[in-house]
Structure 1
Amino acid sequence: MAGEDWTAPEIDAAVADYFAMLADDIAGIRYNKASHNRGLQKRTGRSRGSIEFKHQNTSAVLLGLGQPWIPGYKPAANFQYALVDGVLRWLDRNEDWLAPQAHQSRLRDPAAANWIGPPTERLLEFGPIPSQRNEPSPVDAEFMAKIGLKYDVAERDARNRALGKAGEERVLAHERARLASAGRDDLARKVRWTSAEDGDGYGYDISSFEADGSERLLEVKTTNGWERTPFHISANELAVADERRDHWHLIRLWDFARQPRAFALRPPLSAHADLSPTSFLASLK
């Protein structure tokens, strides 16, 4: 069996085993990689090293799909493309496996007057824009493009309203905590969850303030994957970003399921990202 391609049932077993560990990893539950490996050896007849490498391959696929992966299995390329199909089969059967739980996205009335305010530990961890790190991508760009034809990461994240709302709520808490820690409780109470209170269409999700009282308009984009996971942005959001560039910020939340981290982009967004048209308005001639 050594050197032979893995069969579809073997791949499915390895992928399911990987996701079982990943779910525990995200939840902070201890798990034994060696025990998982031994169990998979019995089910597939594959060697310990072969299984270890297959799990590293799975990390690479998930990275390319904009999904979380197990840090203990460093992404390794040069794998069967059948593994991509195996991962996609699992994700299609478990599409909501990372849906935010009710306690994570409470979605209570954001306009409630009795809001006390989040503790200061609700502040997000902000880092540099990824392009500033000058690190090569661990996933080949051609592979990423092929994956995109089968699994539109940005589209799936955009459709996940629970994830989007949870990200906005997390940033809302951050903004209020940031202003409170700056001694501006008066401004913290005025931070508005625009998309929830007034509806979509404003070109930003949250209306906040700088400590000096000037406007701070925040559009939030949230994904569970790594910091370079693609995301959707509308023509209206781009227009508002250009019109109000002195106040508009794109807050990019990533690794949301495990440990939400963030960075901010300022207009023009074309300076930071390649903007690709994904749909067209068709009017009959």
Structure 2
Amino acid sequence: MAGKSKDWSQAEVTVTVRSYLEMLRMEVSGQRYVKSHFRKALLPLLSNRSESAIEFKHQNISAVLMKLGLRPIRGYQPAQNYQQSLVAEVQRQVGSDLSLIQLVLAEALQAPQKSPNSALGFESASIPSIILPEPSQWTGTQTVRPDYALIEARNRALGLAGELAVADLEYRRLVRAGKGNLADRIEHVSQSRGDGDGYDILSFEETGEEKLIEVKTTRSRAETPFFVTPNELQVSRKYSDSFHLFRVYDFDQNPAWFSLTGSLDASCVLKSNGFTALPRPA
């Protein structure tokens, strides 16, 4: 019977975090990289670890970065149950290289690329089953905790691009269903009336009932937290039968989406600040 794998040493954690952050730097700088090349380069530096073990450790690092208010690389889904020394090491390496933080946060403010790949497919993705970690306080010389999700939420160009993609999806959905008369009545409310209505798009079910859609867009993974306003929360409660939140993610790369219906405090876990949200685990 195989024995339990031994804990990762500090030296192993150090080189693995360094490898991951190099991939992250390349990704936010627009450079191509191959994850398997990085895993293979790590093998001789570690104590008899497999590539799958390295991959899981990289998933742990993704979770830690999200806990610290940054975004992970796109290729590794966040995995919990990480050792606490990993948090400290990621903090140490990122905190000693402020240029990486600046690159990641600058990306959150960039206008989206104009790409034919921005059209959304008809099929929704599954809702991620994750638990929102409590934010971690930075230690050492880092005095301001980064918040990629909050900065990205203020990116009006990205938000508008996501809304246009969802409006286009809704139009195509209704036309495909033979409801062109309803498709022609779709209204981009946030543009025609402003932000005060608590939703972005007025669409319709195929039966003719109104469909109030709030859109939240990110370049990052589906697991990335998003922000809701008190007005959006109130509107979702008042019109719970017709309110939908569309979460558009991996924008500019391979855009996908999932939707949440009804009141936001029923469909989401809202953190203590009243704004940070993630889908409520099933």
User: TM-score, normalized by length of structure 1?
Assistant: 0.68
Whether the 8 Å CA contact 2:162–2:248 is kept in 1: the answer is yes
Whether the 8 Å CA contact 1:184–1:211 is kept in 2: the answer is yes
Aligned pairs for 1:254-273 (under 5 A) are: 254-273=249-268
Whether the 8 Å CA contact 2:61–2:90 is kept in 1: the answer is yes
1:126 is aligned to 124
Whether the 8 Å CA contact 1:15–1:86 is kept in 2: the answer is no
What residue ranges of structure 1 are gaps of 5+ in the alignment? 106-117, 132-136, 281-285
Change in CA separation of 1:194 and 1:86 when aligned onto 2, cut-off 3 Å = farther
Aligned pairs for 1:49-60 (under 5 A) are: 53=54, 55-60=58-63
In the aligned structure 2, how far is the partner of 1:122 from the partner of 1:273? 23
What residue ranges of structure 2 are gaps of 5+ in the alignment? 1-7, 139-144, 276-282
2:88 is aligned to 81
Whether the 8 Å CA contact 1:179–1:211 is kept in 2: the answer is yes
2:114 is aligned to 103
Whether the 8 Å CA contact 2:112–2:252 is kept in 1: the answer is no
Aligned pairs for 1:175-190 (under 5 A) are: 175-190=170-185
How big is each residue's C-alpha offset from its partner over 1:135-171, in whole Å with a ceiling of 9 and x where there is no partner? xx4x8x6xx3143773334422312222222211111
In the aligned structure 2, how far is the partner of 1:267 from the partner of 1:68? 29
User: TM-score, normalized by length of structure 2?
Assistant: 0.68
Please, what is the CA RMSD of the aligned residues? 4.0
- Deviation (angstroms), 1:62: 3.8
1:69 is aligned to 73
Are residue 19 (structure 1) and residue 30 (structure 2) matched? no
Work out which of the residue numbers 153, 158, 166 in structure 1 matches 2:161: 166
- Deviation (angstroms), 1:228: 3.6
Aligned pairs for 1:145-164 (under 5 A) are: 145-147=134-136, 150-164=145-159
- Deviation (angstroms), 1:14: 3.0
In the aligned structure 1, how far is the partner of 2:91 from the partner of 2:261? 35
In the aligned structure 1, how far is the partner of 2:77 from the partner of 2:211? 40
Whether the 8 Å CA contact 2:201–2:212 is kept in 1: the answer is yes
In the aligned structure 2, how far is the partner of 1:151 from the partner of 1:248? 31
Letter in structure 2 aligned against 1:161 = R
In the aligned structure 2, how far is the partner of 1:68 from the partner of 1:7? 17
- Deviation (angstroms), 1:214: 2.0
How big is each residue's C-alpha offset from its partner over 1:248-270, in whole Å with a ceiling of 9 and x where there is no partner? 21112233343222222222222
Change in CA separation of 1:30 and 1:4 when aligned onto 2, cut-off 3 Å = closer
Letter in structure 1 aligned against 2:239 = R
